[in-house]
Amino acid sequence: MTEINNTKTIGSVIKAVEVLRLLSTSETGLGVTEISNNLNYGVSATYHLLNTLRLCNIIEQDKDTKKYRIGFELFRISSIAKNQNSLANIAQVHLDKLKEAVGETSNLVTLDDNNIVYIAQSESSNLLKMFTQLGARVPFYCTGAGKVLLAYQTKEVQNYILDKTDLTKYTKNTLTTKEELINEFKIIKIQGYALDNEERELGVTCIAAPIFDCYNEVVASISVSGPTSRLKEKGLKAIINHVIRTSEELSFKLGYIKK
């Protein structure tokens, strides 16, 4: 066992968690050498770690490509954790109601460092729909939900996260400078919602609003995402109103009193 900050930890468990986090960022899976290089682990040690996780069904290996990806057991555990998550439980009825009102997928998202994490969802019944796996981590700056969550942080937190984030340009609309994002945060706080204007993927728009708790702090964001053309046909203003109304209802349920 090692000791970090006077707290005893097991190094192999920390490495296993780092492996899972890395695999969660890949849609097609990663090979043992890729994982080893990314995490700066020895190939042999990485292989034994992967083999252990595979035997526990936490990860699985593609028979053809030999690449590893998140396994069924982790999804099962995640599903149980979702049911135990009070915020996700409280929000689910609101997500379902929002999905029915606008006919598009609704999401509940929290901030984790400079990423957002999807913790609850109500999936659209449309054949063409936006769907992000629960537990998925996405860069904050190119999503409506992420920009909302940062907009209501202190300037110190905003600067800290922005300074450590690689602002990759995903589309022509992606905001890739600190100045652009800080200005965007100011606009979001004035209007009370954020738009992902095809900033992560062309043809996809997201509308998000903040969720406050009883301490007047933003603890999550609720959003609607769908094909840009369909959202425009339905009317962005109407969808924005639905999202804001839902965020206010959920905030009230968490004890927030608007001043």
pLDDT digits (tens, 9 = 90+) for 5-17: 555 778 889 999 9
**Does the residue 259 lie in any domain?**
no
**Does the residue 17 lie in any domain?**
yes
**Res 79 pLDDT > 70:** no
Structure tokens at 249: 């209802």
For residue 137, give the 3-state DSSP assignment. strand
Handedness of CA 146, 147, 148, 150 (dihedral sign): positive
pLDDT band at 85 (very low <50, low <70, confident <90, very high): low
Domains identified in the chain, total number = 2
Domain span including residue 45: 2-75
Higher pLDDT, 15 or 1: 15
> For 122-151, what is the mean pLDDT?
84
**Res 2 pLDDT > 70:** no
**Does the residue 80 lie in any domain?**
no
206-253 confidence digits (pLDDT tens): 999 999 988 889 999 999 999 999 999 999 999 999 999 999 999 999
Q: What average pLDDT is seen over the chain?
A: 89
Same domain, 47 and 173: no
Q: Specify whether the CB–CB gap between 130 and 160 falls below 8 A.
A: no
**Res 19 pLDDT > 70:** yes
pLDDT score, position 1 = 36
pLDDT score, position 130 = 66
Q: How many CB atoms lie within 10 A of CB 31?
A: 15
Eight-state DSSP code of residue 30? B
Same domain, 96 and 61: no
37-75 confidence digits (pLDDT tens): 999 999 999 999 999 999 998 999 999 999 999 988 887
Q: Specify whether the CB–CB gap between 147 and 184 falls below 8 A.
A: yes
Same domain, 125 and 19: no
Whole-model pTM: value is 0.68
